[in-house]
Amino acid sequence: MNAVHVIYDLAAHPEYIQALRDEIRQVWDEDGGLKKTSFVKLRRLDSFLKESQRFNPPSLLSYHRVMQHDHVLESGMLLLRNSHICMAVNAIQNDPEVTPDPKTFDGWRYYRLREEPSEGHKHQFAMTESTSLNFGHGKYACPGRFFASLEIKSS
């Protein structure tokens, strides 16, 4: 579904097309075609994919669970056995404290973040973090997210 949203977002924001084509062409020329190792060099494309997914999330809620036992949170709230719980992942990633100006589509948002010192390996489409939970996080992160990223980028 994300690939379809990327196409829609390209149609809605054609100002990104030429820069993305230029990036792909440059990496193609440098690597003599697109190889698996080439895809990590497509930082603008990766940023556009992540922003498209943020703007068009696969789900508004995630981590759907059923409580097996009663559990008291640190706040004192009681979660009863058999209660259905989930996380509002879309609300988390679109909180203005997490994502400045979240109502604006910015295809280079994550590209710029990755240019910051010590941030180059973060903010990638297939990476998870506590504020970007579309692929889960921690030991429950989707194992197919890297394959999905490669498939979308090679489409």
Cα separation, 94 vs 82, in Å, equals 29
pTM, to two decimals = 0.90
Cα separation, 98 vs 55, in Å, equals 14
b/e for 68-107, b at 16 or more Cβ within 10 A?
eeeeeeeeeeeeeeeeeeeeebbeebbeeeebeebeebbb
Q: What percent of the chain has pLDDT over 70?
A: 100
The tens digit of pLDDT for each residue in 80-113 reads 999 999 989 999 999 999 999 999 999 999 999 9
Please write down the long-range contacts of 33-38, taking CB distance under 8 Å and 24 or more positions apart.
34/154, 36/150
Q: Would you say residue 63 has pLDDT above 90?
A: no
At 30 the pLDDT is: 97
Confidence label for 21 from pLDDT (cuts 50, 70 and 90): very high
Amino acid, res. 130: S
Query: For the residues 42-51, what does the mean pLDDT come to?
Result: 97
H helices present in 32-143, as ranges = 43-55, 89-93, 109-114
Amino acid, res. 69: H
In the DSSP assignment, the letter for residue 76 is S
Q: Would you say residue 136 has pLDDT above 90?
A: no
